[in-house]
Amino acid sequence: MHTTTYLCIGCPLGCRLEVEEDEAHQIVEVRGYDCKRGQEYAKQEHADPRRMVTTSINVHNGLWARLPVKTTQPVPKNSVLAVNRVIQSLTLTAPVKLGEVLLRDVLGTGADVVATRDMPAQPALAAD
């Protein structure tokens, strides 16, 4: 038997979870959770850890130089750096709308990349 410890982020309690697995790497028991979310989090984290990706990307002609973006769902933890590299390679042109899909199914993860705020274009300069 082998035991792995996790800190639960499923709710504000932050329970210390223990996942015990057998020699075949099957979960035998989950301990330390105070709510159902903790038990589910431990199973998911142990079998297939996933993370949301949040970052920002360059924008041409935007009111600001960078636009915050995120994935629409968690991606496999071992893909986070590769997903981030793909996102960072993008450069957009303003305007961009909140929730606009900027990249579909990034690296085959099933997650889209969306804007997390509006990015208006810079106002046109008045001609003299």
Q: How confident is the model at residue 123 (pLDDT cuts 50, 70, 90)?
A: confident
For residue range 89-122, list pLDDT tens digits in order.
999 999 999 999 999 999 999 999 999 999 999 9
All structural domains of the chain: 2-47 (3.30.160), 54-115 (3.10.530.10)
For residue range 38-95, list pLDDT tens digits in order.
999 999 999 999 999 999 999 999 999 999 999 999 999 999 999 999 999 999 999 9
* CA–CA distance, 114 with 117 (Å, rounded to integer): 9
Q: Check whether 127 has a pLDDT greater than 80.
A: no
